[in-house]
Structure 1
Amino acid sequence: MSDHYDLKKLKMILPILARTTGGYATITDSEGRRLCTVDWNGTEIEELNDEIYDLAKDAAQQARSLIGVSQIVDQADAWALPIGEYVLACSNVERLKREQKFQDALIKALPMIAQVAGGEAVIFNELGERLLSYYSNGTERHQLKGQVSKLACQAMVSREPVVGKSFSVNGAMAVRIPITEKIGFGFNNEKATRQHQKLYDEVKKFQSAHYCFEDIIGESEILAKTKSMAKFVADGVSSILIYGETGTGKELFAQSVHNASERRYQPFVALNCGALPASLIESNLFGYEEGAFTGAKKGGSPGAFEQANGGTIFLDEISEMELSLQTKLLRVLQEREIVRVGGFKVKKIDVRVIASTNKELNDLIADGKFRQDLFYRLNVVQLKIPSLKERVGDIVLLAMYFIQKYALSLGKPIEDIDIGTLKILQNYSWPGNVRELQNCIESAMNMVREEPMLLPEHLPLYLRQGQKALKESVVVEIGNEGLNLKEALSGVEKLIIQKALEMAKYKKVYAARILGISTATLWRKLTDYGMEREQM
């Protein structure tokens, strides 16, 4: 069979190929030299004759068809096919131009789409990377540009629309639609979600439990497992004991459990067992009758258990409760009835008990400071809240959440965080956990002037230097006369507290922040060590 082809006949089919493929069509010799090139209108472009087309040359040398790029228009696709001693080649320039026109029109319409849809509208590339986005009010959004959405990438790969959670707005849903091979389009229901949340917040004002599981920020696996378990047991009646370091959000979980249960329309009453003196905790827990003690109200007063009847009572820092009160609490949990201080009348109650502690209760039991039978009664269901250092990946989400929160309340036009700032936050140990991070961001936002993002210099000094200075400045000397671990640990703690007070210029709030503990806990430790008078 002869490989000879008639050049004249091959040239006649070029206009058909060009129109069909939507681009240029050309025929070259075996060296890739253009013999004839026509555009999609069938017009010959003589000035291209004798130019070397590398793709055609490679196809001839390899004796096989190849796919590559056009040498006439950037980013256009092309193919080359050897035909005997010649090579036919075509590109999709016209299709590329049509896609570009469509993309330009979509970009122009994007702010209008965002306003009509009532949510953020986004254009992304084949990798799911944000190229351009607009708020529902029609203004461009800059801070998330370049971020990659897994669901957007999934839509581009599958060539099918994908519906899922919004990448940028907590609680909102978004749809991602592939438009061409290069770009996709998406939008969410941000405006409707915010309106719904505002209405929900108004409803929550009339409840004592303001938070739900949706308010717990984080996507780490350990937090997701904890939330999943808490949701699973929410509808039960058994007591729950929540373990967690200071500032991890124990009450946040307690309120979320209440609001996810059938008791959500009933009262939620919280009592901090470590914030009140022992003389007041009993009357606050169980109530009192008129004349029970000096200053008692006329007619008496109901306690937390009566107030929470039908709902949930949250006993924070249960480890701080005195043994005498633990005995009375145990009786309440066993009998489901209370007697007011100074009274004799027994009142039946229906209350679910959720308690929390940042201490290991088994150690307190061993030291005789906590009743073992009360522990068993409280520890029916146990929840362990992870510390922030156990979920470092959530720091950026929490930081952005608090930035947006304080940007609104403080009137600071800032929506992003500098990479250097983020590294400092991620490398810090966060002994005060989420509460400390929140305080840190609030402090930093107060330092912002006209900067477009949160910078390292905005962060509190203790975060950049304080902890290092604190660790390096505390030196403990141990003599040879014998060791007492409890006394040694107390001595170290007292030295650390003293150093933190000096660094904070004896301002208790800042000293507590340096130490990663609450102000109430700092005051209690100052009292325990007899240091409160020294700091007056």
Structure 2
Amino acid sequence: MTKNLELNNYLVSTMQKIFDPIPVPLILLDRNTQIIMINDIFANYLGYEKSYIIGKKVQDVDKYSRFPYVFQTKKSEIAWKHKFENGHTGIVHRIPILDENGEVDYGFGMVLFQDMEQFRDIIEKNKLLETEIKHYRNRLRELSGAKYSWENIISRSIIMNEIKSMGRKASMTSSNVLILGESGTGKELFAHSIHNDSRRHLDPFVKVNCAAIPEELLESELFGYVDGAFTGAKKGGKIGKFQLANKGSIFLDEIGDMPLNMQSKLLRVLQEREIERIGSNKTQNIDIRVIAATNKRLEELVEEGKFREDLYYRLNVMSIEIPPLRKRIDDIESLSKLLLKKISKQLGKYVNEISHEAMDYLKSHDWPGNVRELENILERAVNLTDNNRILTRHLSNYITKTKKEITIGPVKSIKEIIEKAERKAIIEALTYTKGNKLKASNLLKISRSNLYDKIERYNISV
């Protein structure tokens, strides 16, 4: 033990001799986040004597240090902006060093830039390059914005695996895709994944929220305009989203909110594969794939005269309906783990466990807000917990007050019995009418739109 201690002291002393002359702040921690080496420049930067620092835990010297989080995640943080307890702000690296078993043995840190002025000087010297990079990065984000793939979509449940399989098949074609589902179910993730898995994945993916753009601006956003097209038009004109998405995919979110006059213009684009800018009399050919999404029932809007029937059929070539979270309970545990990783990274607070009782509450909730609501609930819980585990008391009251009774044994719930009876009645009615939905709805004394909903809900093949 004495020899090992002497060897350890010798190694630390040798490292100090090596690192002290280096004009870059450096630090070395042991597995318990105790500081075993720091060079002079870093000690001076922190405002302490080196003898005071050695042997202390890193958060005793800098309470804002993220090293404890880095040790738990076992993942490096490279070029992070960090504000030290003494008020300095620098750009730092934090690197966990793992042993042969994959456990943290040491932690190595360095301050890349000791203050933001130093960092800004470097940026200023490369201003032209930075400007060009920023410009092309923004253009790339705008033109090729698909950042999710099938791996980002959790699917432990049978129903979700089937929906993903259908999505993969849709990605292999050039047909238009209509994605249906309640708000917060992940329609945009499917749109990204379909594009990324298609032959167009190297070309642009452009997103448009039809509900977020005022009606009077939507046409210019989609199709662009020429110089002098109208008062206030940008000099030189503007390229529309369809032209930006040429050769790639355009994602029209909330398509059910598109005004009727724009629906007719969109229909023409889908039919003729050409666009015309506002103020121009020239058409431009485009090669584009449309992926549309909505949380509304388009067939009902068609019946009400709020959505063009011909456009509905143009869009509804490949239809994918994403089930709400309450119909994919088997995914909640895996989804929660994935979301906890995301939230922990955002908040810098390592939480990776949910108690069995808390998970039971999560699984029994109806989730009207779907995955988006689940993420909000977990973020709140992470903020309230004092360790790495979420307990029932960390969940919102409305979650814990609405826990459903769990069915025990072979007894089925009333809801299950009713759904089974409805499914059987619909199948019998459709068989009797040889698939005629209007006649079947009359026999069942329900509206045709209600019949369509139930056919989809119960996954009945017609």
TM > 0.5: yes
Deviation string, structure 1 residues 120-155 (Cα, Å, up to 9, x no partner) = xxxxxxxxxxxxxx9963259xxxxxxxxxxxxxxx
Secondary structure at the aligned position of 2:225 is classed as coil
Work out which of the residue numbers 280, 285, 289 in structure 2 matches 1:348.
285
Unaligned runs of 5+ in 2: 1-73, 76-98, 106-139, 405-462
CA contact (8 A) 2:364 2:403 kept: no
1:362 aligns with 2:310: no
Q: 1:441 and 1:293 mapped to 2: Cα distance?
A: 48
Worse-matched range after superposition: 247-256 or 293-302: 293-302
2:365–2:402 CA contact under 8 A, matched in 1: no
In structure 2, what is the equivalent of residue 317 of structure 1? 254
Q: Partner residue of 2:337? A: 400
State the partner residue of 2:164. Answer: 227
Residue 138 (str. 1) matches residue 95 (str. 2): no
Aligned amino acid, residue 395 of structure 2: L
Residue 339 of structure 1, aligned match among 276, 287, 292: 276
Q: Distance in 2 between matches of 1:467 and 1:314?
A: 37
**In the aligned structure 1, how far is the partner of 2:350 from the partner of 2:168?**
36
Identity of aligned residues (%): 48
Partner of residue 259 from structure 1, selected from 183, 186, 196: 196
1:299-357 Cα offsets, whole Å, 9 max, x none, are: 11111100000000010110001110000000000000001112211011000001011
1:435 and 1:452 mapped to 2: Cα distance? 22
Match of 1:410 in 2: 347
Q: Which residue of 1 aligns with 2:323?
A: 386
| 2:369 maps to amino acid | G
Partner of 1:302: 239
Match of residue 385 from structure 2: 448
Matched, 1:458 2:394: yes
Counterpart-to-counterpart distance in 2, 1:135 and 1:394 = 34
Give the counterpart of 2:212 among 266, 275, 280: 275
1:412–1:448 contact (8 Å) kept in structure 2: no
Aligned match for 2:361, one of 413, 424, 438: 424
**Structure 1 residue 462, shift from structure 2 partner:** 4.0
Quick one: structure 1 residues 136 and 290, their matched pair in 2 at CA, closer, same or farther if it must change by over 3 Å? farther
> Which amino acid is 1:301 matched to?
K
**In the TM superposition, what are the counterparts of 1:496-507 in structure 2 within 5 Å?**
none
Encode CA deviations 1:231-287: one digit per residue, 9 max, x unaligned: 112121111111111011111001100000010000000101111111111111111
1:293 aligns with 230
- After superposition, the Cα gap between the structure-2 partners of 1:236 and 1:455, relative to the gap in structure 1 and judged at 3 Å, is same
SS of the counterpart of 1:393?
helix
Residues in 2 aligned to 1:340 and 1:457: alpha-carbon distance in whole angstroms: 57
Relative to structure 1, the CA distance from residue 313 to residue 136 in structure 2 (aligned partners, 3 Å threshold; closer, same or farther) is farther
Structure 2 counterparts to residues 447-526 of structure 1, below 5 A: 447-449=384-386, 451-465=387-401
Q: Which residue identity is paired with 1:322?
A: P
Contact 1:288 1:302 in 2 (8 A): yes
Alpha carbons of structure 1 residues 139 and 364: separation in structure 2 relative to 1, 3 Å:
same
Specify the alignment match of 1:37 in structure 2.
none
- For the residue of structure 2 that corresponds to 1:412, the secondary structure is coil
User: Alignment partner of 1:326: what SS?
Assistant: helix
Instruction: Provide the C-alpha distance between the structure 1 equivalents of 2:222 and 2:175, rounded to a whole number of angstroms.
Output: 19
CA RMSD of aligned residues (A): 2.4
Contact preservation (8 Å) 1:311, 1:350: yes
Give the Cα separation in 2 of the matches to 1:214 and 1:243: 20
1:211 aligns with: 148
Cα 1:290–1:443 shift into 2, 3 Å: farther
Moved more, 258-267 or 277-286: 277-286
Secondary structure at the counterpart of residue 315 of structure 1: strand
Aligned-residue offset at 1:466: 9.0
Aligned-partner Cα distance in 1 for 2:284–2:172: 25
2:93 aligned residue: none
Q: What SS does structure 1 have at the residue aligned with 2:103? A: coil
Q: Secondary structure at the match of 1:214?
A: helix
Q: 1-side partners of 2:347 and 2:170: how far apart?
A: 38
User: How far apart in 2 are the matches of 1:407 and 1:321?
Assistant: 37
Structure 1: runs of 5 or more not aligned? 1-117, 120-133, 141-203, 469-536
For 1:242 and 1:274, how far apart are their aligned partners in 2?
16
- Asked whether the 8 Å contact 2:145–2:204 carries over to 1, the reply is yes
Offset from partner CA, 1:477-533 (integer Å, 9 cap, x none): xxxxxxxxxxxxxxxxxxxxxxxxxxxxxxxxxxxxxxxxxxxxxxxxxxxxxxxxx
3-state DSSP class of the match of 2:275?
A: strand
Q: Distance in 2 between matches of 1:256 and 1:136?
A: 35
State how 1:113-152 maps to structure 2 within 5 Å.
137-138=102-103
Counting matched residue pairs gives 273
Query: Is the CA contact (8 Å cut-off) linking 2:206 and 2:249 kept in structure 1?
Result: yes
Residues 1:467 and 1:331: Cα distance change in structure 2 (over 3 Å): farther
Higher gyration radius (CA): 1
* 2:103 counterpart letter in structure 1: G
Structure 1 residues 136 and 209, CA, compared in 2 at 3 Å: closer, same or farther?
A: farther
Q: Which residue of 2 aligns with 1:47?
A: none
Rounded Cα–Cα distance in structure 1 between residues aligned with 2:360 and 2:253: 33
The whole-number CA distance in structure 1 between the counterparts of 2:305 and 2:361 is 42
TM-score under structure 2 length normalisation:
0.56
Write the distance in 1 (CA, Å) between the matches of 2:243 and 2:323.
Answer: 32
Number of the residue aligned with 1:46: none
Letter in 2 for 1:284: E
CA 1:390/1:136 → structure 2, altered by over 3 Å: closer, same or farther? farther
Secondary structure (helix, strand or coil) at the match of 1:341 reads coil
Q: TM-score w.r.t. structure 1 length?
A: 0.49
The 1-side partners of 2:316 and 2:376 are apart by: 31
Q: Helix, strand or coil for the counterpart of 1:356?
A: strand
CA contact (8 A) 1:421 1:454 kept: yes
Once the 2 structures are TM-superposed, how far is the Cα of residue 467 of structure 1 from its aligned partner? 11
* Structure with larger RCO (C-alpha < 8 A, sep 6+): 2
Change in Cα spacing, 1:135 to 1:287, as seen in structure 2 (3 Å) is: farther
Per-residue deviation, 1:375: 0.4
Tell me the secondary structure at the aligned position of residue 313 of structure 1: strand
CA contact (8 A) 2:180 2:294 kept: yes
Matched, 1:243 2:180: yes
In structure 2, relative to structure 1, the CA distance for the partners of 1:467 and 1:281 (3 Å cut) is: farther
CA contact (8 A) 2:381 2:395 kept: yes
How far is 1:464 from its partner? 3.5
